[in-house]
Amino acid sequence: MEFAIVIGIGERAETVDCHDFAKAALSRVSSTALNLALQRRSSVAGRLATELYIARQALGSIDSSKLQRRVPKLLSDLERICAWPKSSQNMAMIHALVNNRDQKVEIRVQRGILCFANSSQNVIDQYFHKLARFSKEALDEDDIRGATDKAESTVTTDEYPVHVNTELYTILKSHSLCTCIPGHAYSHARHHARLRLLDGISKVDESVAFDMLFSESPTTCHHWQDLQLRVPLRKKAAKAVKFDTKDSCQSAFSSPRKSDKKIKADKTMAVVKPDEFCNLVKARLGSRICCHIQDSELHRLYRGFPLVQKVDSGESLSLRHLLRIGRLSNRMKLILAYIVARSFWQYYDSPWMDSPWTSDSVHFLRELPSEEETYSRGALYASKPYLAVEFKELNGDFFEYCNAPSVIFPYPRLLSLCIILLEIGRGQSLPIKNSGSLVADLNERWHLAKQVTDANKSQNEFDYPHYRKAIVRCLNNSSWEQNSESIEEDVFTRKSVIHNVIVRPLEKLLGDLGFSENLHVMTPVDEVGGPSTVPDVPAPPPMPTISSDVDQSDRWLHKMKIINQCFQRKESSTFTQAPRIAILDTGYDSGSNFFSLAGRSRRVKGWKDFVESQEDPIDEEGHGTHTIATAMKAAPFASIYVARIAKDRGGLKNAHQAIVKAIDWAANDARVDIVSMSFGFKNEDPSITDALRKALYDRHGNLIFFAAASNSGANGGEMFPANLDDVFSVRETDALGAFSDTNPPVDPDAPVVFGTLGRQVPSAWLSNVDGEVAKSGSSVATAVAAGIGALLMTITDIGVANHCLTVADSSKMRTKRGMYQVLKRMSRDMGNRCRYICPEEILVDGDAKKTWTAIADAFARS
């Protein structure tokens, strides 16, 4: 053995070759961390798996004589991670893991990695910095056998004919023009388009398949339609002249190709005209729509396909934004850079280059969380970038070639690609300025890119020599100067050079590091920055037909969404049970557009019809559907249980027995935490009162009721059951906290009363209604309050998992007394004993720890 060390304890101690043991240990722990990352969606575990794998590759690329000083420290640190927060002697933990001597050792190592992931960010960063430095010093330029200098001048990677891009782009340019609002200014706007950037070509039935997303309208991004667009590889020739003879079939198409036969025989397609495209992308059918380009027309396949691009609602995030709020591992950076560079090369001679390629136009969309991800908002994946397509004339600063005098580097597109690659490597965007002069801007950006590239530590821990070399060669004019006779030949030649200078070296680097396989098996981006309410897609001015109240309410609900996202990031790897809400109302319409997203429909966990005993969900009025969707907007992670107690609002007067049964079902069968009752009666019904008290008794007080106060103003008092001491009475406010005149008078001798958003709140309605319907009243506010109650339970549980609150605190939050103290502490005094529950008081100063402190203070008073 050239370099031996003693590992293990007692009888299990043995002398091993340090080099061989280190490679085995790094591989084994990396594999364990990767499995943990996929199971628990731990970004730290995913990053650990990647960095350990890179270190393992580094060990295989250098002479063992260089390791005697560095490897023991590397192994010692690795042992500490596996045993975290404890310490062990002689690397006993990784010794057992490598030799599989203890079946429980992998579980102990996973526990250690999870504990390490929950330690301070400073400790985590310090370890990864040392690990990256080890790999960087090992993987010097001479140790990676790059292929860029030896690359052949011809491109061997799969390509497809030029007409494929041109035909698709031309059709989408005409179809994406919005016709939803004829005669309005928006009729000249386009649906937002996102083109998925891939690491290869997707082919279906002798056609090239493109994955795209289109927003339902130019004004909002509440829904993205998943589209696959197929363009035949072979361009159809002009039709031959037909004659009325027996031989007329012997025309140019007498023997059609197999793909043409299939298309013509397929009677399940229909032409989509430009003015029909709007209806296609806003239908919210819950399926992928596949279209085929034929005879310069867009044909839709009637058959539906399972969703592939399962993205959440909301604006897409630019690469610039992602780099600001997220931390990308080295593996993420390399894969993202390769996909962007390869797509850039693939589309270089196509109209897709008419859209700028910058960190502002490369976008990402959140994916819908799976059912197991109880509190998860949509995750962002670095391996799934999109191009924000602008169907307009060529942008002045994104020409293929700038022939103006005094230009240092006359290739704007290539310069933009270099800047994107630099930004990905650095993990932050470059300060790009616009002076108004194309020549000045090009020269300024070239100097900036050259300065960053030439800096000794330009990539920080991300310092791969061949990555940097590819950018250096790209910025060098000599790489692109050709003696071509035409612009077209220049473009073709440059495309070939792009592959040899940039794409192929990145592909080789991925292979050397073992990243070529399973490019899309990746943990989510670790979001470390605060949530931003500034969208990357410029929002158009509100339409005149939308009232300011609805607009304000929509923004209010968006703030709630941001709060949910913020606390989801704080969630521990420990599993946390989703709070349960029972909605007692007119049922719900599962066919409503709101529930077309699988992530939402799966949140409805239970259904019980106490009116007609219907097994399938039903809502004949719409009030229940509106109420449920409203609660889910405030608490998208909660589990919803629906009890139908009346056909419509008029049927409530005879619904007393149904309400009694529904309360018992919610408390003892569904075992919910919260019961929402968006109704009320002038007089008390003893049977309902008894049912409420029995439910509280059965649940030992761990059940919370919310009910609508009243909409009669001073003409009536507080309704039953909201007037019971065991029930939270909820009043209506607008989005600014002003209490409505329709609320009942406040008893000056009673405890404070609570109000929340209930004015012109947009939410789901029946499936025969396109879009949302705005409703007002204390019944709407009750649904919002129930959702906020569930959110507070979630915040508390996450606080417990993060050791900021106790298990006892979680139990208190599920009682009326505990919830009352928290709501009182986290609401605004509006005078006259009225307190306004609003988003700003829930997320205290944007700091989750302050929120947990406020909750702990409230419980101390209960």
The DSSP result for 325-352, as a single string, is: HEE--HHHHHHHHHHHHHHHHHTTTSGG
Domain count for the chain: 2
Query: Where is the domain boundary, 106, 138, 170?
Result: 138
Strands 297-301 vs 269-272: parallel, antiparallel or unpaired: antiparallel
Task: For strands 639-644 and 604-609, give the pairing.
Answer: parallel
CB 677 within 8 A of CB 782: yes
Is 830 a member of any domain? yes
| Cα distance between residue 360 and residue 859, in whole Å | 46
Domain holding 119, by residue range, is 4-138
Q: Give the type of residue at 355.
A: S
* Rounded CA separation 316/532 (Å): 12
CB 404 within 8 A of CB 390: no
Amino acid 838: pLDDT: 93
User: 26, 59 in Cβ contact below 8 A?
Assistant: yes
Peptide bond into 465 cis (omega under 30): no
- Two structure tokens written together for 536: 């990357």
Helices (H), 236-302: 258-265, 277-281
- Does residue 713 belong to any structural domain of this protein? yes
**Rounded to whole angstroms, what are the CA distances from 827 to 630, 834, 837?**
20, 10, 5
Which one-letter amino acid corresponds to residue 198? L
Last residue of a domain, one of 85, 105, 138: 138
Q: In sequence order, which residues have a C-beta less than 8 Å from that of residue 260 and are 6 or more positions away?
A: 236, 253
**Cα 761 from chain centroid?**
25
User: Looking at the domain assignment, is residue 492 inside a domain?
Assistant: no
CA 761 – CA 772 distance, rounded (Å): 9
Residue reference for tokens 């063992």: 64
Neighbouring-strand partners of residue 290: 228
Other CB atoms within a 10 A radius of the CB of residue 622 amount to 23
| d(C-alpha 537, C-alpha 614), whole Å | 44
CA distance 503 to 329: 20
Long-range contacts of residues 655-658, Cβ cutoff 8 Å, at least 24 apart? 655/611, 656/685, 656/687, 656/688, 657/687, 658/610, 658/611
3-state secondary structure of 757: strand
* Residue 581 included in any domain: yes
Beta strand extents in 236-383 (DSSP E only): 269-272, 289-294, 297-301, 317-318, 326-327, 362-364
* Per-residue pLDDT, 739: 92
- Separation of alpha carbons 51 and 69, rounded Å: 20
**Residue 252: its pLDDT value, please?**
30
Residue 122 domain flag: yes
Active site residue ranges? 585, 623, 779
**Predicted pLDDT at 98:** 83
Task: Give me the pLDDT at residue 101, please.
Answer: 58
Q: What is the CATH number of the domain that holds 715?
A: 3.40.50.200
Q: Let me know if residue 132 belongs to a domain.
A: yes
Q: pLDDT at position 845, please?
A: 72
Give the Cα separation of 223 and 716 in Å (integer). 42
Domain boundary (113, 138, 163) is at 138
Q: What pLDDT does 670 receive?
A: 96
| pLDDT under 50: residue ranges of the chain | 1, 64, 140-157, 183-187, 237-266, 371-375, 394-397, 456-459, 483-489, 530-547, 572-573
Domain membership flag for residue 448: no
- Alpha-carbon distance values, 517 to 61, 135, 304, 384, 832 (Å): 20, 21, 31, 15, 65
Whether residue 636 is contained in a domain is answered as yes
- What's the mean per-residue pLDDT of the chain? 81
In terms of Cα–Cα distance, which of 59, 21, 29 is closest to 137? 59
